[in-house]
Structure 1
Amino acid sequence: MKIVTRIGKDKLAAVCLLFIAAILVTGVFAPLFAPHAPEEVHMELRFAASSWEYWLGNDHLGRCILSRLIYGIRPSVLWVLVALSISVAIGTTLGFIAGYFRGKADAILMRVCDIMLSFPGYVMTLAVIGILGAGLENILIAFVLMKWAWFARIIRTSVMQYTDTEYVKFAKAIGVSNINIMIKHILPVSLPDIAVISSSSFGSMILQISGFSFLGLGIQAPHAEWGMMLNEARAVMFSRPELMLAPGIAIILVVSAINFLSDALQIALDPKLMTSRHKWQGKAIALASKPHGKEVA
């Protein structure tokens, strides 16, 4: 609750949180919000301008752009969130095992992570697509294979730091089981680190899946996805540039909101950053209130 209160005090973060929540709800209940079926073709409305029935107009096949934009939330945001959750779950589990037990378990898991992280992310994703074929499911599989090792390594470092604290050593001394120690003592203090790295990865994964779909490697027609909508509008980008605005602006707004929220979350979870931010804001107000030509010590 304290974290929510701190984020609520930041107006930009609160707006971003509400915006992301609205996007997620709209994607989950897309059939209720979309005015038309996203794959419904009307060739007589090809490249039609916006109207009361079609607020954002129609594409090259006469399909409703607004409806396709709403349904595109599912592969562009919701399924990316699912892949991120799986990656975080795997990385957290293995990171806790490596950071808490150490020894051989730590050595083996970290060597596996070293191997996975030695491959560039895009190269590994393209390799998975080359083996399994193009499609949204295969990109999500590549995301999980690519991200879990990164999460495991970062979370391992956090767990090792908290494992050496006095209260954890005391819990071990009185005979508390390892599982209870990890769940009750280490996991709560590690959650801020997990939340920050997860939120910072969310935006980059949305950009990546949109990029792969733009290249024709992601979700396939006639399904709607923001990157694929950009690819479809590319052929008429000079004669009909407005067709690229809707998916392009949607990607920019969602990723920007996630990045702003990630920064606010990091500040809310780190008292040192919050203190330094308040000092900077206080100095900025003092500078603004002083007459020109005078400096504040």
Structure 2
Amino acid sequence: MKLFKLIWKDKLAAISLSIIAVTIIAGIFAPLFAPHDPAEVNMELRFAPSSWEYLLGNDHLGRCILSRLIYGIRPSVLWVFVALAISVGIGAILGFVAGYFRGKTDAFVMRVCDVMLSFPGYVMILAVIGILGVGLENILIAFVIMKWAWFARIIRTSVMQYAEADYVKFSKALGVSNIKIIMKHIVPVALPDVAVISSSSFGSMILQLSGFSFLGLGIQAPNAEWGMMLNEAREVMFSRPEIMLAPGLTIIIVVSAINFLSDSLQVALDPKLMTSKHKLQGQTVASSAKLQGKEVA
């Protein structure tokens, strides 16, 4: 609750959180918000301009662009979030185990992570797509395969600094089990770090999925997805740029909101950054007051 209040005080973070919340709700309840069937073809309305019935107009097959944008939230945002949650879950478990127990366990987990991270991300994703075939599910599988190792390494580094705290050593001396120590003392303090790195990766995964769909490697027609909508509008980008504008702006707005919220979340969870921010604001206010005093004089 305190974290929510801190974020809500930041106007940019509050706007970003509202945009993300509205996007998620619209995606979950897409049949209620979408005015038309996103796959309904009506060639009579081909490239029709916006109207009261079709607020964003129609595409090259006469389909409602607004409806396709709303249904596109599911693969572009919601399913990416599922892949992110699975990746973070696997990475967190291995990161907590490696960072807490150290020794051979840490060495084994980190060597596996080193092997996974030695492959360039995009090359590995293309390799998975080449083996399993094109499609949304295969890209999400590739995300999980590639991302968990990065999360495990980052979370392990965070856990290591907390595992040496005095209260953890005191709990060990009292004979408290390792599982209880991890769940009671390590997870609560490491959770903010996990939240920050997860939120910062969310936007990049949405961009990656849209990029692969734009190349024709993601979700296939007639299903709606933002990157695929850009690909479909590419052929008429000069004659009818408004068709490309809707999905392009949607991607920019949603990813920017996620990035802004991630930055605010990092500041809210890090006391040092919060103190620096208040000092900077204080200096700005003081400078403004001096300038106003000089102008009055």
Show the 5 A alignment for 1:75-114. 75-114=75-114
- Counterparts of residues 23-62 of structure 1 (less than 5 Å): 23-62=23-62
CA distance in 2, matches of 1:292, 1:97: 57
Structure 2 CA distance, aligned partners of 1:180 and 1:37? 51
Alignment match, 1:169: 169
In structure 1, list runs of 5 or more residues that go unmatched: none
Q: Helix, strand or coil: the match of 2:238?
A: coil
CA displacement at 1:292 relative to structure 2: 7.8
The Cα of 1:19 is off from its aligned counterpart by 1.1
Matches within 5 A, 1:205-220: 205-220=205-220
Match of residue 232 from structure 1:
232
Matches within 5 A, 1:139-158: 139-158=139-158
Q: Helix, strand or coil: the match of 1:235?
A: helix
Counterpart residue type for residue 13 of structure 1 = A
- Which residue does 2:285 correspond to in 1? 285
Moved over 6 A (4+): none
What is the rounded CA distance, in whole Å, between the counterparts of 2:181 and 2:290 in structure 1?
Answer: 54
Q: Which amino acid aligns with 1:14?
A: A
Deviates more, 1:283-292 or 1:266-275: 283-292
Query: Which stretch has the larger CA shift, 27-36 or 96-105?
Result: 96-105
Gaps of 5+ in 2: none
CA RMSD of aligned residues (A): 1.1
Q: Say which SS state the counterpart of residue 290 (structure 1) adopts.
A: helix
Note the alpha carbon deviations across 1:169-190, whole angstroms, 9 max, x for none: 1111111111111111100000
Q: Counterpart in 2 of 1:243? A: 243
Q: Percent identity?
A: 78
Distance in 2 (alpha carbons) for counterparts of 1:154 and 1:236: 43
Partner of 1:192: 192
* Counterpart for residue 118 of structure 1: 118
Cα deviation digits, residues 150-185 of structure 1 (max 9, x gap): 000011011111110111111111111111111111
Q: TM-score, normalised by structure 1?
A: 0.97
How far off is 1:287 after superposition? 1.6
| Partner Cα distance (2:101, 2:62) in 1 | 59
Q: Which amino acid aligns with 1:34?
A: A
TM-aligned CA deviation for residue 291 of structure 1: 2.8
Q: Which has the higher mean CA deviation after the structures are superposed, 19-28 or 278-287? A: 278-287
1:242-281 to 2 correspondences below 5 Å:
242-281=242-281
User: What is the aligned residue count?
Assistant: 294
Q: CA deviation at 1:284?
A: 1.3
CA distance in 2, matches of 1:198, 1:291: 42
1:18: how far off? 1.2
